Amino acid sequence: MLTKEIFVDIHVRFAQGQSLRKIASELGISRNTVKHHLQQQTMPTYAKRSQQPTKLSPFKPYLLQRIELAKPDWIPATVLFDEVVENGYQGGIAQLRRFVCQFKPSIVPEVVVRFETQPGQQMQIDFTSIRRGKKIAESVCCNARLFACELCKVL
């Protein structure tokens, strides 16, 4: 399917005197395609294909009903797949997953409550292990007593 820009470009280049072979090589299309579109005076119209029913189509109402009844919980696609296979579904699980994922509720992140203390009321300690050869040094006990606010007041 060619776009309108390519169709017009073919006609403009041919009117400027370029050969069919040069137009085809520059646009990356076949010479026969260039020749075909030069014979047409108007842009070709393409009709959309009608949607074909899938193997899953007869089971969609059942799946929607199961999803609605399970809310706010979620039924995994594998469980739904087993249920529709028992009812005669002969398609694959990938098609069912693509259909079902449209209705999966989005995960709401938990709100983080910030824990703040007054300066000098909390001590934070970080431990680390430093490995050098065969010796292990257990060290680094850093404590910060949150004096940042008081230092700002002094300065």
Distances, alpha carbon 113 to alpha carbons 19, 108, 130, in Å: 71, 15, 33
| Best CA proximity match to 67, nearest among 75, 77, 79 | 75
Q: Give yes or no for a contact between 130 and 136, defined as CB atoms under 8 angstroms apart.
A: yes
- The phi-psi region of residue 149 (left if phi > 0; otherwise alpha if psi is between -120 and 50; otherwise beta) is alpha
Under a CB-based contact definition with an 8 Å cutoff, are residues 9 and 27 in contact?
A: yes
Residue range 10-24: average pLDDT? 93
Q: How does pLDDT run across 65-88, given as a tens digit for each residue?
A: 999 999 888 999 999 999 999 999
Element (H, E) at 65: helix 60-70
pLDDT given for residue 154 in this prediction? 46
Structure tokens belonging to residue 16: 């400027």
The predicted-structure confidence for 91-133, as pLDDT tens digits, reads as follows 999 999 999 999 988 888 888 888 788 887 777 777 776 666 6
What is the band of 26 on the pLDDT scale with cuts at 50, 70, 90? very high
What pTM did the predictor assign?
Answer: 0.46
Cα–Cα distance, 64 to 67 (Å, whole number) = 5
Q: Which residue has the higher pLDDT, 28 or 150?
A: 28
d(CA 148, CA 118): 10
How confident is the model at residue 80, as a pLDDT?
95
